[in-house]
Amino acid sequence: MSNTGVAQPVAAEGKGFRWLQLAMGIVCMAMIANLQYGWTLFVDPIDAQFHWGRAAIQLAFTLFVVTETWLVPVEAWFVDRYGPRVVVMFGGVMVALAWILNSYADSIALLYAAAVIGGIGAGSVYGTCVGNALKWFPDRRGLAAGATAAGFGAGAAITVVPIAHMIAASGYQTAFFDFGIGQGIIVFLLGFFLRKPSVAMPVKKKQLNLPQTTANFTPGQTLKTPIFWTLYLTFVLVASGGLMATAQIAPIAHDFKIADVPVNLLGLQMAALTMAISLDRIFDGFGRPLFGFISDNIGRENTMFIAFGTAAVMLLLLFNYGQTPIVFVLATAVYFGVFGEIYSLFPATSGDTFGAKFATTNNGMLYTAKGTAALLVPFGSIIAKQYGWQAVFAIAVAFNAIAALLAIFVIKPMRRAFVDKSNGVVVDAPVAARKVSAA
């Protein structure tokens, strides 16, 4: 653990250069979004072609998410050693290869292999771009991480309709092949221009009202802290419900018999499922930078409480009224709008708590919680088959409610105490906090 309390000189690059880096990272994230958020469009067509069953097909989704998340710390090590360029370019090749293999997959084993390859590629891009944003923007971590994650959340919004149309007109194999090549090429080209700051970026004093450490915790030190594992548990609780909904939204709409029911919203008429997926991506993408910005101003844990509580309410609406098309569309949109913020709040919280120097690796370790949560996705299909989708919604409501309470009553005081201790602050009951003088 090393102290970085003294402001360091600004990077040699111009002030606008970091915003260019942020923009390129956002586009790269948008190009890998369909690997997760577009997957739901392919589940039923694949099942209709090969009759492998939804649960078996969704295992590919789980393998993708597990590989995408659990390998991020390894990929982050390569970023720290070789820089973001080579890792993102490698990711572009892998995501293209994954969907090309999906287009040819005539066995469940090949589908699973493609999922693993896609996970490696998406993790390389995701972990690198978010970690790079944390390093370039220590003064706006919530906004930067949120904007970067927004690319992943909203990237599928502009392509979900073309993919759905291509699947209907030319088959899902063509959609996999064409979009796979296009997405991979864009990531590869933009990855060439990514770089990390040449020197550490200073934190502006006006942002120090948030609990932020002035120390840099190594990955090994981070893993030994109770606050890391408390954050990890909360991440798992929230992510599990969101990933179930992401992977199953099309099967849910079909089982509720509302997938093709026309919905008119603000003069725009569209099939309920298509409108739901489009709005979900838009709200998801918009929510990530919005909640990141809010957390920069009112605090990470307060924002978590608001978001997780709202998610629980939306899931409760789906539990009771999900078979009504307009409720399904609007409730899922708001739900994803508050769900996606975990991908801005947790990285920002990690950077604030454990420091900037090892931010890519430390955030990568926390991000593996998404992979842990993904292990629950296949159980969504199993539970739904036995007890109906309402049972899945009920479980997700409970998870989000528990996470909201953890954020405000456990994480908030625990993290404040941890940051104060790492900064050398002693807090006595009757006396205000004071800096400990060096011995």
Burial of 218 (0-12, 13-18, 19+ CB in 10 A): middle
What is the structure's pLDDT at 293?
A: 87
Does any domain span residue 404? yes
What is the structure's pLDDT at 282?
A: 82
What b/e readout covers 48-67, taking b as 16+ CB neighbours within 10 angstroms? eeeeeebebbbbbbbbbbbb
What is the structure's pLDDT at 312?
A: 94
Does any domain span residue 38? yes
Q: What is the DSSP string of 112-174?
A: HHHHHHHHHHHHHHHHHHHHHHHHH-TTSHHHHHHHHHHHHHHTTTTTHHHHHHHHHHH-HHH
What is the structure's pLDDT at 203?
A: 54
Report which listed range, 8-12, 132-136, 434-438, is most confident: 132-136
Q: 67, 66, 58: which is closest to 384 by C-alpha? A: 58
Is residue 11 within 8 A of residue 197, CB to CB? The reply is yes
Tell me: pLDDT of 208 over 60.
Answer: no
Note the pLDDT tens digit of each residue in 168-188: 999 999 999 999 999 999 999
Tell me: pLDDT of 80 over 60.
Answer: yes
Does any domain span residue 305? yes
Close Cβ partners of 87 (under 8 Å, ≥ 6 residues apart): 75, 78, 79, 124, 128, 191
Burial of 79 (0-12, 13-18, 19+ CB in 10 A): buried
Residue 133 structural domain: 14-197+206-435
Does any domain span residue 58? yes
pTM of the model: 0.75
Q: 435, 339, 358, 334: which is closest to 396 by C-alpha? A: 339
Total domains present in the chain: 1
Is residue 253 within 8 A of residue 262, CB to CB? The reply is no
Tell me: pLDDT of 433 over 70.
Answer: no
pLDDT band, residue 97 (cuts 50/70/90): very high
pLDDT band, residue 113 (cuts 50/70/90): very high
Mean pLDDT of the residues in the chain: 85
- The enclosing domain of 402 has a CATH number of 1.20.1250.20
What is the structure's pLDDT at 434?
A: 41
pLDDT band, residue 11 (cuts 50/70/90): very low
Close Cβ partners of 47 (under 8 Å, ≥ 6 residues apart): 53, 54, 57
- C-alpha 287/C-alpha 150 separation (Å) is 8
What is the structure's pLDDT at 13?
A: 60
What is the structure's pLDDT at 209?
A: 56
Does any domain span residue 6? no
Does any domain span residue 8? no
Q: How far is CA 264 from CA 47, 194, 256, 279, 330, in A?
A: 30, 42, 18, 13, 12
Does any domain span residue 133? yes
Note the pLDDT tens digit of each residue in 349-365: 998 999 878 888 898 89
> Radius of gyration of the chain from Cα atoms?
21
Is residue 315 within 8 A of residue 332, CB to CB? The reply is no
